Structure formats: C-alpha cells, structure tokens
Amino acid sequence: MRIGIGYDSHRFSAGCKLVLGGAEIPFEMGLVSHSDGDALCHAITDAILGALGEGDIGKHFPDNDEKWKGASSVTLLKTIVDLAGSKGYEITWIDCIVIAEKPKLAPHIEAMKQALSKAGIPTSLINIKAKTNEGMGFTGRGEGIAAQAVCLLGKAGQ
C-alpha cells in the first residue's frame, strides 16, 4: 500500500472558464494556467504520482511543452491513473479539499465526482470537500483557488 499527497493553486483571471475536478462551474472568472487551470485535478494527479514515487505533474507534463497547452486536466489525470495501473496499482481511496472563498462549490461536488470518473477514478472511491479560508490569505481574498489531495494506492487485485 502506498500513500501520496498533492497540492496545487491557480490565480483567478477574467476571460477564462472555471474548471474544477473536470466540471465547468459558472463564475465570472476562471483559473490561469498552461492547461485548463484545474487545481483539483492537478492536486489529485500529484497525490497519485507521489504514491507511485514518480515525481510530480511538471515532470510528466512540462508547462513549456506546447503539447499540453490548454490540455484537459482530466486527460492528464487519466494518463497518470493508467500509469498506476501499468505499475500494478489501483486507487484505494482519494480524499481532497478545495479552498475557495467564491464561488460556493458544495453544489458542484457531485458534478466533479462524475467528471473525475472519466479519468478512471470511481465515484465511490473519492471524497471532495469544499472550504473557504475565512477571508484570510490569497484564497480568502479571492485571488485564486487552492486544492489538496491524498491518495492511497493498493496492489491491484488484492
């Protein structure tokens, strides 16, 4: 059994879509990134990579590589879920936190879980929590969104 931790954050900007956990969320701003800025997907991807001992998301999908410009983070996540499978591991459990002052994310958690299932993470094996930061720090000031994830991997078929 292996455990991994992941963290990511992205800055808000007007004129782009807000995508979290693969779900598009109605809001007046989105998150700036080389990819689609999906901080939750990136945190989960890094948690799985941590459990695999395979470095981090930047090693696998360099942000100076045009190939990943505007890429769907669910697609990147699926690549890493498949990598875990190829190494004989399956996801036992994922728990995550999205920290955002706005918008309210609780109504979108089921949509996120459904979207993440397209990356090969069953909805029954992931928990997503949405929190504010009580007005403190960059998330509290509404400058961006942060996400944290932990992933437990088990040997496949055990």
42 versus 113: smaller Cβ distance to Mg ion: 42
| Number of residues forming the site for Mg ion (CB under 5 A) | 2
- Pairing type for strands 29-31 and 2-14 reads antiparallel
Give least dist CB 8 to Mg ion, A: 4
4 versus 122: smaller Cβ distance to Mg ion: 4
What string of DSSP letters covers 103-120? S--GGGHHHHHHHHHTTT
What are φ and ψ of residue 119, in 5° steps?
-90, 0
Q: Binding to Mg ion by residue 8, rule CB under 5 A?
A: yes
Q: Token pair of 79, please?
A: 């690549």
Give least dist CB 124 to Mg ion, A: 26
Separation between Cα atoms, residue 14 and residue 27, nearest integer Å: 10
19 versus 109: smaller Cβ distance to Mg ion: 19
For the beta carbon of residue 156, count every other beta carbon within 10 angstroms: 12
42 versus 108: smaller Cβ distance to Mg ion: 42
Q: Which of residues 25-64 bind Mg ion (CB under 5 A)?
A: 42
**Using CB under 5 A as the criterion, which residues of the chain lie in contact with Mg ion when the complex forms?**
8, 42
